Amino acid sequence: MAVESFGHYNLRAQRPLLEVLRNFYVDVIGLELGFRPPFRSCGYWLYAGGKDIVHLTEAPEEEYRPARAAGTLDHVAFTCSDVESFRRRLMSHRIPFTSEEVPLTGELQIFLTDPAGNGIELNFAGGHRATV
């Protein structure tokens, strides 16, 4: 028995926030809206490279857990390319972010949060100078 790969992560929210999250992950992060089986709940599956990696699910009001619930998850990381396009996109959407270079590897990390307060890290292969 062994873990073979990462599947996806799921964000649950009430309908208005669910729509904002969908737009953010598509328009800002660059994921693609794709096929989702016809579950009873409303939701979206967002894809990168042909793989569904983010699931958005409507949470009924009685099951809704507010953003920033106590826990240990700090952020989710995406492997990305074209750092300058990402910087321009984040600035055009007025998304605050910080960046940092990984020692020894030169990998560039861009840190931001989604509209629900979830941490996001965008990773770019080495050779970039860390700037904000």
Res 130: pLDDT: 45
With b for 16 or more beta-carbon neighbours within 10 A and e for fewer, the 20-54 pattern comes to ebbebbeebbbbeeeeeeeeeeebbbbebeeebbb
Res 5: pLDDT: 85
- What domains can you pick out in the chain, each with its CATH number? 6-61 (3.10.180.10), 73-132 (3.10.180.10)
Res 3: pLDDT: 84
**Rounded Cα gap, residues 33 and 25, in angstroms:** 9
pTM of the predicted structure, to 2 decimals = 0.86
Q: Tens digits of per-residue pLDDT, 54-106?
A: 999 998 766 656 555 556 778 999 999 999 999 999 999 999 999 999 998 99
